[in-house]
Chains A and B, each alone.
Chain A
Amino acid sequence: MAALDQTQVKEGVDQETVDAVREVGTYKYGWETEIEMEYAPKGVNPDIVKLISGKNDEPEWMTEWRLAAFERWTKMDEPNWAMVSYPKIDFQDQYYYARPKSMEEKPKSLDEVDPKLLATYEKLGIPLKEQMILAGVEGAEDAPAEGRKVAVDAVFDSVSVGTTFQEELKKAGVIFCSISEAIREHPELVKKYLGTVVPVSDNFYATLNSAVFSDGSFVYVPPGVRCPMELSTYFRINAENTGQFERTLIIADKGSYVSYLEGCTAPQRDTAQLHAAVVEIIIEEDAEVKYSTVQNWFPGDENGKGGIYNFVTKRADCRGDRSKVMWTQVETGSAVTWKYPSCILRGDDSQGEFYSIAITNNMQQADTGTKMVHLGKNTKSRIVSKGISAGMAQNTYRGLVSMHPKAKDSRNYTQCDSLLIGDKCGAHTVPYIEVKNNSSRVEHEATTSKVDEDQLFYCRQRGMDEEEAVALVVNGFCKDVLQALPMEFAMEAQQLVAISLEGSVG
């Protein structure tokens, strides 16, 4: 892009064309909303923890819970076993709470909503109907919705700006709101389930999250209810030098079903930013949860400057018999990714599925995979992981399949494929397999390959340029995972795969 800036533009070429060309290959969501923000003082200490708790009007038990987490965090060391390297993070040199000043009081009409906030949603591609509700306008729920309904919870820096279709979901008995609202309105549910899947002291980043999480989403689907629409959360980091620490808690009661989507973006900056999230899913008897993520945080520039450090703990606990969970993730963004969505298959006949595409380009690093812990009898799991490395990126698959002594007749199938584009990138596979009974079966298949020259030649013969050809080959390579995504995300993910690899050939 720098070369383009220096190029003389020919006479007669309008500015729109120049801007459009300049946009090609750049991060689409790298713009920043200039909005007045309110920050907590820099750093993390018990006062900041209390301040965050106070901002959310939390009960005392929650503040105590946070403080206990902070106490544990001060005694923990940052993990260094992952195959990622980044400059040491100064945890005292960033903001742990930032919210738009206009969100201090919930706006009652569109006129009161900060137009910049509205423009942000519009630019991110959130429909106008939802836009009204996301901005917290009372009564917007009654407006007619177009097309297929997807309820959205929008998290902007440290606060949830709004949640759509809450009333309609309430009619079906489904609770979908921000976690801060859930702590106030449904304390009995939060108290019962929070921290039961990812304990406070689970790992360094989860413990930090437990202490300082500011918002996130909460879902409760009552027994026997099939959630009438897809639920989704959109995370946006906007403020500079601010970490985002969101917490998501999903509870699928007996015989229920819910599909949940998650998307995220951040502005393009020279300095790295921290994102440490925790997702807990509880699945009771005969219930099913599908959790899909398209992670598109700013990945940093081609020299590795800036980007998001993404340290996420996601875990699903299949507590009931015949419960099912399906993780699908498309990881294209972040400078550093450290993420292992896991399934604890506790109930007999429970099932866990994990489908992942991790694309790393330029200087990106990803250490990602899954954990399948089989505890119940006749439990089944399936892992399909596709890793694509280009530029000087490093991509690691790290997975654990554990068959416990009581997990008789359990099955696992793991397929782990890596694709290398160029000669300076790396793909690494670190599978851990533990089988502690003699009736279970575990299968692991792994391949590492380069983009096939014959396939590229075939595509180029038919008029495609090299980047289009590589995108087509890579989309074919990822099709098993793309097919597992809900319709809303599948098309976007397919385009994202192609965009993420722009500039990786030639």
Chain B
Amino acid sequence: MTPKPQQRIRKDDVLTALGYALPVIGGLLGVAYVNTKYMDFINPVWAVGGGALLGWIIARVIRKVLG
């Protein structure tokens, strides 16, 4: 009997997805920060770019540790 294909989410898939998801979440958090803390006068380009870069770095670190 052939075993049924398993639909379990594999660790590699999650780690791969994190590489895309965290920079996006970081960028969105940057947008939120610029709008709520408008008196900090942060350039939105830096906030979005910085958030995305931070998300990417975190994803890399997670992949290094768990991958």
Chain A, 382-400, contact with B by CB distance < 8 Å: what is the 0/1 string?
1000000000000000000
CB of A214 within 8 A of chain B?
no
CB of A411 within 8 A of chain B?
yes
A411 / chain B contacts, CB cutoff of 8 Å: 41
CB of B1 within 8 A of chain A?
no
Residues of A207-243 whose CB lies within 8 A of B: none
A353 / chain B contacts, CB cutoff of 8 Å: 39
B38 / chain A contacts, CB cutoff of 8 Å: 382
Smallest beta-carbon distance A257→chain B, Å: 16
Residues of B30-45 whose CB lies within 8 A of A: 38-39, 41
Residue in chain B with minimal CB distance to A381: B39
Residue in chain A with minimal CB distance to B40: A380
CB of A158 within 8 A of chain B?
no
B41 / chain A contacts, CB cutoff of 8 Å: 380, 411, 413, 441
Chain B, 43-62, contact with A by CB distance < 8 Å: what is the 0/1 string?
00000000000000000000
The contact size tier of chain A is under 10
A382 to B38, CA, bound (A): 9
A441 / chain B contacts, CB cutoff of 8 Å: 41
Smallest beta-carbon distance B3→chain A, Å: 59
Smallest beta-carbon distance B28→chain A, Å: 21
The A contact surface, by secondary structure, is: strand
Residue in chain B with minimal CB distance to A324: B39
Residue in chain A with minimal CB distance to B38: A382
CB of A351 within 8 A of chain B?
yes
Smallest beta-carbon distance A170→chain B, Å: 33
A382 / chain B contacts, CB cutoff of 8 Å: 38-39
A353 to B37, CA, bound (A): 13
Smallest beta-carbon distance A503→chain B, Å: 36
Chain A, 326-362, contact with B by CB distance < 8 Å: what is the 0/1 string?
0000000000000000000000000101000000000
B39 / chain A contacts, CB cutoff of 8 Å: 351, 353, 380, 382
Residues of B1-49 whose CB lies within 8 A of A: 38-39, 41
Residues of A374-433 whose CB lies within 8 A of B: 380, 382, 411, 413
A380 to B38, CA, bound (A): 10
A380 / chain B contacts, CB cutoff of 8 Å: 39, 41
A224 to B39, CA, bound (A): 23
A351 to B39, CA, bound (A): 8
Smallest beta-carbon distance A414→chain B, Å: 12
Smallest beta-carbon distance A441→chain B, Å: 8
Chain A, 476-506, contact with B by CB distance < 8 Å: what is the 0/1 string?
0000000000000000000000000000000
A353 to B40, CA, bound (A): 12
A413 to B41, CA, bound (A): 8
A382 to B41, CA, bound (A): 10
Smallest beta-carbon distance B44→chain A, Å: 13
Smallest beta-carbon distance B36→chain A, Å: 13
A340 to B41, CA, bound (A): 24
Residue in chain B with minimal CB distance to A443: B41
Residue in chain B with minimal CB distance to A382: B39
A441 to B38, CA, bound (A): 15
Residue in chain A with minimal CB distance to B41: A411
Chain A, 85-116, contact with B by CB distance < 8 Å: what is the 0/1 string?
00000000000000000000000000000000
Smallest beta-carbon distance A298→chain B, Å: 36
A411 to B38, CA, bound (A): 12
Smallest beta-carbon distance B40→chain A, Å: 8
A441 to B42, CA, bound (A): 13
A441 to B40, CA, bound (A): 13
A-B contact pairs, 9 of them (CB 8 A): A351-B39, A353-B39, A380-B39, A380-B41, A382-B38, A382-B39, A411-B41, A413-B41, A441-B41
Given A353-B39, A441-B41: 7 more A-B contacts, CB < 8 Å:
A351-B39, A380-B39, A380-B41, A382-B38, A382-B39, A411-B41, A413-B41
In the A-B complex, list the 9 residue pairs whose CB atoms are closest, starting with the nearest.
Answer: A411-B41, A380-B39, A351-B39, A382-B39, A413-B41, A380-B41, A382-B38, A353-B39, A441-B41
